[in-house]
Amino acid sequence: MDISIHYAFLPHTDAEASVTFYRDVLGFEVRKDVGGGQMRWITVGPPNQPGTSIVLHPPNMDPTLSDDEKRTVLELIAKGSYGAVTLASDDLDAAFAQIEAAGADVLQEPMDQGYGVRDCAFRDPAGNLIRMNQL
């Protein structure tokens, strides 16, 4: 059996800020941009990995959510507790320096973890947690 990751989903709270971050800071390509205004589903991914994408989506589109639930979702996103992704780079320190210089919300500078991984952490414009490992 050959299984691969095709899409992962992260919420966005500002479509333009998210596009700018994933395209201009992380170097991802925008593959699809569907909808309008803040009601957009934006598919991004690394140029050298056409089969793997992140879909940035408006978080409160589920009509079954109450107003209280919608507020809770937005609060969890802002805290970085709703969505997360782990990326990897063959030069973690250079990637981190570029991301930090672009003004990302840095949570952790590159460090060697006790469980054998060297990584860093930051948030995207919505607040989603992004960890990046050294390959």
Position 38 in a domain: yes
- Answer yes or no: pTM beyond 0.75: yes
- Structural domain including 117 reads 7-134
Give the pLDDT score at 13.
92
- Decide if 52 contacts 6 (C-beta within 8 A): yes
Under the banding of pLDDT at 50, 70 and 90, the label for residue 38 is confident
Position 126 in a domain: yes
Position 111 in a domain: yes
Under the banding of pLDDT at 50, 70 and 90, the label for residue 5 is confident
Q: Which two tokens stand for residue 31?
A: 């593959």
Look at the chain and report how many structural domains it folds into: 1
Name the residue among 104, 84, 119 with its Cα closest to residue 8: 84
Position 1 in a domain: no
DSSP secondary structure code for residue 70 in this structure:
H
Q: Write down the H helix ranges in 5-117.
A: 15-20, 67-79, 92-101
Position 12 in a domain: yes
Position 2 in a domain: no
Q: What CATH number is attached to the domain comprising 12?
A: 3.10.180.10
Question: What is the rounded average pLDDT for all residues in the chain?
Answer: 93
- Decide if 134 contacts 117 (C-beta within 8 A): yes
Under the banding of pLDDT at 50, 70 and 90, the label for residue 61 is confident
